[in-house]
Amino acid sequence: EERRRKEEEQRREEEARHRQEQRSREEEERRRQEEEQRREEEARHRQEQRSREEEERRRKEEEQRREEEARHRQSTMQALQVIQDRLEAFERRTEEEDRQRQERMHREEEERRRQAAARPQGVSADFLVNQLDTALQEELGEKYNDQTTFADLAVLLWGPEEKRFSKIVNIFGHATMSDSDRGPHGVSLCEAIGAHTPGAAQDANLFVSWTWRYGVRKFLAAIRRYCIEKKLDLKSTFLWICFFCNDQFAWLSGGVNDGVETFGETLKTIGKMVCVLDDFNGAKALYFSRLWPVFEVFTACAAQVDVDFVLMSDAAEALRAVAAGDLKFLVMVDVMNAQASDPQDATKIKELIRTAPGGPDHINSEVGKLFVKMMTRVLFGL
């Protein structure tokens, strides 16, 4: 009995110890799980904290970016407003000067218009840009190429200056047509083109200011681009270009005594001028180095003639990279140092410039301001 009792006690003690160990293991497991949960909770909390901090950082960076963009837009708008204000002030000054000139010249201009017997004839833009190059290539062959200037073309058609008209290329039949005033001694290329191609020569509605030193093909490409940009109908746009519209048989032989006066009347009768520029940089531009083009622009301004411009392709691309504020330093005009092929023209034009109100400095300033104004409008898409 005693043995059984002791065995029972031992069994009970063993069971109690087993239960105690079980409870200890369960308690340890519970504590371990709680510790893991705590650590996971802390890790999750730290992750959430980092996420909140990252979100806050991104929010602040976005706010800073927006504030920076707003400041940049504000600065840009202020700069544009300053430019616009200056342009408007310049336009007001120009309008006032134009009004004063108009009052002085109104009666003289009206009288000249009444005396004009007929409008000057011009060559259609359609013929120039679509047919002329082919005609010259067929007539002149390899002598005519991408490097040929209008000065070169004059030599090819009418011979060198020292042997002018000793050998003539009768393109479009201009050398054998009869002039009503001078008899059978040839006519202008414009008149011959009108007879050769019906509708290719009519009353001019656009005066072209340029120089014979331009390459023929580059010049024609600039005319094409100008008509496209201004949405002009090629078939109804007729250009007065001295090379084609002046009777070179009379001009090159010295038969025209007052080219300055003739040009002025032609320009005022047509009433609109486009300047074909090879470059906007006065240090490199052929245009600003020639006396006639600069004088033409000044005369157009004085006569209240509308003036526009077009750049040859290379210069047009370069202009887009120029800051508007730099144009006034690039567009340089020095009319008294400009050159003319005819010494008599140079002498007469420079004398007119010297005796004009304000003299050469005024003309340089007015012509320069006009081109800066026109180019600035192009840069800002105005």
> For residue 169, what pLDDT is reported?
92
- Using CA atoms, how far residue 325 sits from 315, 316, 322, 370, in Å, is 17, 17, 8, 15
Q: Which amino acid is at 126?
A: D
Q: How far apart are CA 157 and CA 243, in angstroms?
A: 12
> For residue 319, what pLDDT is reported?
86
Nearest to 190 by CA among 223, 141, 230, 239: 239
What's the pTM value of the predicted model, to 2 decimals?
0.67
> For residue 328, what pLDDT is reported?
79
Q: How far apart are CA 360 and CA 335, in angstroms?
A: 7
Segments of the chain scoring below 50 in pLDDT: 116-117, 180-184
Q: How far apart are CA 54 and CA 149, in angstroms?
A: 68
What would the pLDDT profile of 236-279 be if each residue is shown by its tens digit? Answer: 999 999 999 998 888 877 655 566 777 888 899 999 999 999 99
> For residue 118, what pLDDT is reported?
62
Q: Are strands 121-124 and 306-311 parallel, antiparallel or unpaired?
A: unpaired
Structure tokens at 42: 């802390």
Q: How far apart are CA 370 and CA 160, in angstroms?
A: 37
Residue 179, SS3?
Answer: strand
> For residue 111, what pLDDT is reported?
61
